[in-house]
Structure formats: C-alpha cells, structure tokens
Amino acid sequence: MSTSGGQVVIGATSEITRAVALELARSGGRFVIAGRDTDELAIVAEDLRVRTKAMITAIELDVTAYETHAAFVDACFAALGPIDGIVVGQGYLADQQAAASDWSLARQMIDVNYASAVSLINLFADRLAAEGHGYICGISSVAGDRGRQSNFFYGSTKAAFSTYLAGLRNRLFSKGVDVITVKPGFVDTSMTWGSLDPRSPLVASPERVAKDIARAIRWRKNTTYTPWFWSPIMLAVRLIPEPIFKRLSL
C-alpha cells in the first residue's frame, strides 16, 4: 500500500471506524479524521496522536449536510496534499419496528448509511481517478446480503451501499483506484448495545474488525467479511430457497 499521501477516515467517532484509524495510523503518515461530534472528535484525534506516530487533522463533518461535502473534500486535499485513500464508516441503526412506523427514522438510515456515503465517495472518486491511484474503503454490513424481516430497513441501506461499491469498483479499476467493500457481522458497539450478547462467539470486538479492515486495505481485497466466518454463514443464508426463507424468523 502506498504511503506517499494522506488518508481520510470518515465517521471516526464510531467505535469501529475509530479502531480502523488507529490500525492505519500505527505506522505513521498523515490523516484527516472526520465526525459530527466535535468534542469526541478532538478526543479521538489526541488519542491517535499520543498512541501513534501519525499526523492527525480533525475536521468536523455532518455527513447529512450534503451542501458541505465539496468543501470538506477540498479541505482534506488542502490538509493532506495527495491522498492515498479514504475509509467511509458512518452508520446509523434504528429499531426495525420504530422505523416501520416513523419515516424519519427510516430516512435517517438511508441518509447516513447510503446517500451521504455515495455523495462523499463520488467527490473523492473523481479526484483519485484523475490522479490514477488510491483506494476507497466502504464499511457495509452482512445485513445487506439478504432482506430479513428483523432488520430489512437497515439491511436495505447496506445492500444499496454494497451494490454501489461493486459498480464503482468496476468503473475505477482501469483508473488505478481500488474499491474495497467490508461487511462486518455482529460487532459489540454502542449502536448495537442491548441487542447483542457480547459473550457470543458470533460477536466481535471493534478492534478485531479493525484489524481485518486494515488488512483488506493493505491487500486491496475486493470484498471482506469480518470476522471471516460470516462469509460461509451468509453464503448459506443466501442459498436458502425463498419459499423456505420467508417462513423463517430471521
């Protein structure tokens, strides 16, 4: 992986993306980290400076304020010069039943998980393609692999994001830009607090997931499930015939 330019980590105040920033910054380099909560972002930036050799610039970003995206991208290039790659990891999970009756919650998942990510990535993609190098890493989810009655609102936003990344990967391949799709399974974070048993062998820590993401970026893998066992699990889920699948309480 090239380290001549800087790297941008969006959504750096979430547990997974913050851990990814730490993994990437361990070997030094220049980084922009972005998030909406300025106080928390400042804490994350200082933590990274203390624990790594990297140069960290924190930039406030509300991902759903679409009118600020172009200025944000310009600010990243101004702070870093050439950019090697970006990690897009913002996410929002609303209760399924609540989202079914409150459109504002469903809309927020669409905006945060899909629409804002596409808006930001489109801007970076054009710049990276013009420079002929770099990577774009999008953190999606196994929830997008098949619509399940328990979380299809959230899952549909991740399915859309995964499909977007797949198409972008094909478009940018000839331009020298690698597009990496990461699909975490159950992760013990504040977003999933209360809905998962952290003692379950299926539940991973943000740190474990971050190591897999950093490895996927280094190896420029097209799609990575993390932890690895979610790949065969989701293959089995996708292969269940629809007449059977719709009768399952998944």
DSSP character for 110? I
Q: What are phi and psi of 60, to 5 degrees?
A: -65, 135
Rg (the chain; Cα; Å): 18
Beta-bridged to residue 10, according to DSSP, are 34, 88
> How many CB atoms within 10 Å of residue 172?
19
The encoded tokens of residue 62 equal 């509300």
**φ/ψ (deg, to 5) at 189:** -135, 175
Among 145, 189, 181, 228, CA closest to 17: 189
Catalytic residue among 114, 154, 164, 225: 154
**154 among known catalytic residues:** yes
Q: How far apart are CA 25 and CA 89, in angstroms?
A: 16
Which three-class secondary structure state does DSSP give residue 87? strand
User: What's the half-sphere exposure (Cβ side, CA atoms, 13 Å) at 213?
Assistant: 32
DSSP 8-class letter at 179: E
User: Which residues form the catalytic set?
Assistant: 154
